[in-house]
């Protein structure tokens, strides 16, 4: 799949330094986002292609087919969640464990790839 497909973005304030294409969660208030730190965080959006410094306004992707940075190997169509650095990893919870997902991968990739995903925030239980 080549290129980003623009969709719905919303402007937020960065609660920490943000690298491009990271999975984000709410920070201190309703208008602040910070990098996600794991699969139990309340995953809400991904940063777009520009970095942001703490306190700066930035656009976060909450719809369409945005891109996300992979934190490991992910197959196309697989549910994705966040690793400790806000990168996308395949959601594979242990039996009885509930994790949050941000959506589903649109392409097969490996660590460091930036590829499209289909936003579908929700929960998954192993």
Pairing mode, strands 43-47 and 114-125: unpaired
Around 15, how many Cα atoms within 13 Å sit in the side-chain half-sphere?
A: 13
From first to last of its 126 residues, the chain has per-residue pLDDT tens of 445 556 789 999 999 999 999 999 999 999 999 999 999 999 999 999 999 999 999 999 999 999 999 999 999 999 999 999 999 999 999 999 999 999 999 999 999 999 999 999 999 999
DSSP state of 94: P
For the chain, the structural domain boundaries read 9-61, 67-125
Distance CA 23, CA 42 (A): 10
Q: Which residue has the tokens 């623009």?
A: 6
Supply the pTM of this predicted model.
0.93
């Amino acid at each position: 799949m080549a290129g980003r497909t623009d969709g719905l973005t919303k402007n937020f304030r960065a609660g920490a330094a943000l690298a491009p294409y990271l999975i984000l969660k709410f920070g201190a208030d309703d208008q602040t986002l910070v990098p996600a730190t794991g699969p139990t965080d309340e995953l809400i959006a991904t940063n777009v292609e520009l970095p942001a410094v703490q306190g700066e306004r930035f656009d976060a992707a909450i719809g369409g087919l945005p891109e996300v940075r992979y934190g490991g190997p992910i197959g196309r169509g697989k549910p994705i969640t966040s690793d400790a650095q806000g990168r996308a990893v395949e959601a594979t919870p242990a039996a009885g464990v509930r994790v949050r997902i941000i959506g589903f991968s649109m392409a097969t990739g490996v660590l460091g790839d930036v590829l499209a995903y289909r936003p579908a925030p929700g929960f998954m239980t192993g």
